[in-house]
Chains A and B, each alone.
Chain A
Amino acid sequence: MRRGRISVGQALFVTLNTFFLSLVMVACFYPFLYIIVSSFNDPTDLLRGPVYFWPRMFSVLNFQYVLKDPEIVRAIWITVARTVIGTVVGAFFTAAFAYGISKKRLWGRNVIVGMTLVTIYFSGGLIPTYLLIAQGLHLYGNFLVFIIPNMFNAFFAFIMMSFFREISPEIEESAHLDGATEIRIFVQLILPLSTAVLATIALFFGVWHWNSWFDAMLYGGRKLMTLQQYLVKAIQSVNVSVMSANYRSQSVSSQSLRLATMVLTTFPIVVIYPFLQRYFVKGVMIGSLKG
């Protein structure tokens, strides 16, 4: 793309641009590095001053300490369970709907599509939804409250629908002639052909479940505490103990515990992220082409 003379101005632009983008990149990445190196530093040593790029005194004491708490172990299990089950259920339920509305011959298709679009732009809001889920359906404090209200997503359904449309109809026709039912065609033919879009949507569901905090706070109760809730608790508890001022005498400060909890809560995403990011990008591209 670059042709012609390379003037001083050009060179300056390239240098400044590279410098600026490097800064942007550091701004995106450094917060994680800072939290990670601080959490792996010896807690007493950390009180002497911050560490920036590498632990001054390497130690896993903070993590040993945090993981001793049965509450976080429980929270990890609950979060993993809701992420795995919620992702599988959500992806299949949404895919089945998307496959159905991708067929022009579906009876009442326009009404159903319109009905789905409305839900993207208008909702009853927090209070009626809360009353329905917590009191009407008695799901408060029930593990299913993480799964059932989140098993469908209209936006993801439209992303999947545009993908299913690309699948050649001849495949289905031949299966029809062999007497296969719609459900069989969907499960045995369409789903295996759609791993790319399924993976994308599953990832969106998975990240959402893992990070979700609001619904756990609303409907979970103490018994179903998730990792994000545990982290909120850890963050808020520090604010209290800073004032009591005697935490410095403990071998593990609440600040260090908070850092370790932050790492534990976020690390699965940061670790799997480099491998999965291309799917996310694909997903947003399919979505934007449609939108």
Chain B
Amino acid sequence: MLVLPAVAWMIVFNYVPMLGLVISFKEYDLFLGPIKGFTQSPWVGLKQFQEAFTDRYFLHALWNTILYSLLKLLFGFPAPIIFAILLNEVQKLRFKKFVQTVSYLPHFISWVFVSGFLYVVLATDDGIVNRILLQLGIVQKPLLFLASEKYVPSLVVVSHVWKSFGWESIIYIAAITGIDPTLYEAAAVDGANRWTRIWHITLPCIKSTIVVLLIFTVAGLISANFEFFEQMYLLRNSIIQDATEIIDTYTYRMGIQLTRYSYAAAVGMFRSVAAVILLAIANSASRRLTGQSLY
């Protein structure tokens, strides 16, 4: 009795859209309306997919998606681990608690605020960052942070790490807290210094946590998520349009703005299927390496 409403909800809001993916193989006719559009539009086979893979802009968006995802993984994955380990070395409990609490504040802030902040501080003529750089004589003229494609990857990675490292460190901090303290005591008796203790006790003890989270992060890399969309779409302006285009923003532009529903649905479906394949690979890797898996 309690379960049925939610099951009905899932059928409507999750499974009906999955069925709706059939329009990827059709040419959605806008004039047929929402229901007939799905059932009576003509079949076109793989035409939409062929079109996508010959479209320069789609390939560019795909490349950007892969590039930014890998960069986020490269910098965003180790950051919480390093933070958790360093935090664990702090003796003063109140300082530790305080740093930790402040570190996950960014997680609760909207991407709208983050992009607004970037536009305020990185502005070319009156942004605080350019002012400081000019005053210190590091640059001769203001840097075009938001009007030059070369800064986009750094902005994406830095804002991602800023927003996520504290929150993601919670699991590592918990794992480190669970380590048997007698291990450290024994090491101290043997005269091990901090680096040796971190390297030979802390890291090996949280290794399984790291492996599991790495696998899930990889699995989630290219799954569609609206956070990535918001991050990129809000960073965007007419000058750095190409560099901020990812599959999600491309789908939005093609589908919602240009109403090419079938084409955009095909692009979205390509991404969903790729994500599921990556998940399956990561999952079987996980089972082989750590014995833990999702299914």
Contacts and interface: CB of A to CB of B under 8 A. Distances in A.
Verify that A and B bind, or say they do not. yes
Interface of A: 1-4, 7, 9-10, 13-14, 17-18, 20-22, 24-25, 27-29, 31-32, 34-35, 38, 47, 49-50, 93-94, 96-97, 99-101, 106, 112, 115-119, 121-132, 135-136, 149, 151-152, 154, 157, 182-183, 186, 207, 210-214, 218, 228, 231-232, 234-235, 238-239, 242, 255, 258-259, 262, 265-266, 269-270, 273-274, 277, 280-281, 284-285, 288, 291
A262 B23 contact: no
A119 B223 CA distance: 12
A127 B191 CA distance: 62
A274 B102 CA distance: 9
B275 interface: yes
Contacts of A258: 116, 120
B102 A119 contact: no
Interface stretch (B12-20, B63-71, B149-157): B12-20
Contacts of B185: 1, 3
A239 B91 contact: no
Contact of A213 (B87, B111, B193, B265): B111
B34 A21 contact: no
B181 interface: yes
A127 B109 contact: no
Contact of A235 (B119, B229, B276): B119
Given A128-B21, A239-B119, A28 B106 contact: yes
Given A132-B13, A228-B110, A231-B116, A4 B89 contact: no
Nearest to A109: B3
Given A13-B89, A29-B102, A270-B105, A136 B35 contact: yes
A193 B125 CA distance: 57
Nearest to B17: A124
Interface of B: 1-3, 5-7, 9-10, 12-21, 23, 33-35, 37-38, 83, 86-87, 89-91, 95, 98-99, 101-106, 108-113, 115-117, 119-121, 123, 125-126, 128, 131, 162, 166-167, 170-171, 174, 181, 184-185, 188-189, 191, 193-194, 216, 223-224, 226, 229-230, 234, 237, 248, 251-252, 255-256, 261, 264-265, 268-269, 271-272, 275-276, 279, 294-295
Given A29-B102, A96-B6, A228 B112 contact: yes
Contact of A130 (B99, B256, B272, B279): B256
A160 B93 CA distance: 31
5 contacts: A22-B99, A124-B19, A128-B16, A129-B13, A213-B112
B14 A124 contact: yes
Given A34-B121, A285-B174, A93 B108 contact: no
B279 A213 contact: no
A262 to B, nearest CB: 5
